[in-house]
Amino acid sequence: MKHNSADPASAAIYLGIDGGGTHTIAVAANAGGELIRRIESGPSNVKLLSDAELIAQFQSLAQALPKPTVLGIGLAGAWAKSDAQRVRELAAIVWPGVSCHATNDLEIALLAAQLPAQQSRAPKRLPAGAQVLIVSGTGSCVYTKTTRGHDLLIGGWGHVLSDHGSAYQIGLDALKAIVAHFDRKGSWPKLGAQLLHALQLNEPTELINWAQAASKPEVAQLALDVFAAWAKGDSLAATILDTAIGALAENALTCAHRRAKHGTPIQFVLAGSVLLKQPRFARLLARRLRQEWPTARVTPLQRESVWGAVELARQTAEPSPQPERRAPSRQVSKTEASLAATGLGTPPVLPVRSTRLSPTEQRNPRSLRLDKLSLADGITLMIREDARIHSALLAERRPIERALRLIVNSFRQGGRLFYVGAGTSGRLGVLDASECPVTFRTSPDMVQAILAGGPTALLKPVEGAEDDAPAGATAVAIRGVTARDVVFGIAASGTTPFVWGALQAAKARRAKTVLLAFNPFLNIPHAMRPDVCIIPKHGPEVLTGSTRLKAGAATKLVLNLLTTLAMVQLGKVSSNLMVDVVPTNVKLRDRATRIVQELTGADYALAQTTLLACGGVIKKAVARLRRR
């Protein structure tokens, strides 16, 4: 107690956690940077663990370590703001009241590279300069911080899409190389024999079943045998590892060119088991880097990445006196950071709030006895509530017309319509967009849907997706939205951050913007206000908060009339016939034939034959018959 009263800060315990795809390391240190305890546990990739699994991981660490004063956590996959927020919230369950800074595992590795090589009672950071972190372990990537503090990552897409120069890629290349050698030369190479021995397989064809069932770590483990063969002078192993070195060097140099001008001093920091445990491999990579960047300094990571997490905890407890050098408070996704670096990013999205409780969340006085009603009365109630939708939409026909004119004008200029939404709202956008190509013979690009959480969210909720405004902005930027396009946001409550992120990104690109919401109490900042706001007032839902009911039905009606009437204006309807329908099945082929009959007076057989001769295009068939 005397110690605490004299200097409370000296009793502080900084806990750093470094969680990767294969294992997690946690270190507790005192204020002087001295190790109190270090432990290891299982993987902690935020993209692969559920909330319960991540909490269990934290609980196992908490049980083995002293209670920290401050937490610094760097986990694989924690690139988005929502990821970091999720980690902080789950950490707060295990360590209530403890301040926590959460980020990704690469940022703490880069931070560790800036620390003294040995533990010190004065853990001051070394001058950073321009640093590029090269990681090659089971997976691989290259990472740096831009001069503006943005994350810049090359690789990190997983073993299917990238991981070039990683242990996994080395193992996979070895498997491909030995079977290719066997196919072309008819002999089984020495490296092949070594791999079969390592896998306890008896003959080459057994590799087929093994490779199909092998996990990423199992394939990566083969890299050790490739390095062993290389040490014995195996030429096949040498070729494989030379390819790996080339891939790592190319990515690292690309990252360096985006970080600093060529020729300026730069430090390449080597990390990951391949680069730290295979010194010959690391030396050859360093030589390759210095050949292309003569002023480069190439050094292995001197301290474990987890010490970067400890330093992160220390900085959280003791804010830097130079705020301009601090990392940005918001972690951005890989894609968002890349967009920002190329000038495609958008300003931060201000929160759109409701001045009163949204009708979508209010209780409906007419359905207070819903759980007591008979089935017949329940049916009557719901049908009567749905009848309110039509008068509410009629009251909004002027803004609907303005939105429709924007869409038609966009289509005539070769522009596109983008629906943006989350949950039910987003799924309805997907439904309408998916039906346009067949109904109106449009390009799939003409009407598109952007759903928070992506395709996964079509079938099940994606946690936190609707709250991620930067993800909405990124989706719009990735689609290449321009001034010719219309971005149509759908948000029942009107406050969905993902939708507003998309709308703001669209405005920044001078696209026209529309909002469909069911909350008349929205407080939208003037600078963020869409070109058109459609806000029907149909009142609370029968089932409180269930916007798949009236809000969903109203959304479907609005989207129906927008695309239908827009296509009418574009000449894709004659009378009330869909003359651009694509006959993709028996029913539609019959419908198309009857449309040709209606428009030309030909009999069914002639209409059918002509339609077939015209490739199923109704307008061509009609024109041909009219010329006869």
DSSP structural state of residue 38: E
Which listed residue (318, 435, 541, 598) is catalytic?
A: 435
* Cβ contacts of 305 within 8 Å, gap of 6 or more: 18, 25, 74, 105, 108, 109, 112, 271
List the structure tokens of 538. 């149909």
**Alpha carbons 376 and 388: distance in angstroms, whole number:** 19
Q: Give SS3 for 161.
A: coil
**Alpha carbons 616 and 588: distance in angstroms, whole number:** 10
Which listed residue (311, 385, 466, 541) is catalytic?
A: 466
Residue type, 89: E
Report the helix count and the strand count for the chain, using DSSP H and E: 23, 17
Handedness of CA 121, 122, 127, 133 (dihedral sign): positive
Residues 549-553: contacts with CB within 8 Å, 24+ apart? 549/382, 549/385, 549/386, 550/385, 550/386, 550/388, 550/389, 550/518, 551/360, 551/424, 551/425, 551/492, 551/518, 552/424, 552/425, 552/428, 552/492, 553/386, 553/389
**Alpha carbons 425 and 431: distance in angstroms, whole number:** 10
- Is 466 part of the annotated catalytic residue set? yes
Q: Give SS3 for 270.
A: strand
Give the containing element (helix H, strand E) for 102: strand 99-104
Handedness of CA 431, 432, 433, 435 (dihedral sign): positive
Nearest to 140 by CA among 126, 120, 159: 159
Q: Give SS3 for 517.
A: coil
Question: How many CB atoms lie under 10 A from the CB of residue 546?
Answer: 14
Q: Give SS3 for 618.
A: helix
Give the containing element (helix H, strand E) for 402: helix 397-412
Nearest to 471 by CA among 449, 450, 443, 485: 450
Angle at CA of residue 421, ends 419 and 423, nearest 5°:
135
Strand partners of residue 35: 29
Strands in 325-415 per DSSP E: 353-354
- Is 250 part of the annotated catalytic residue set? no
Which positions are catalytic? 435, 466
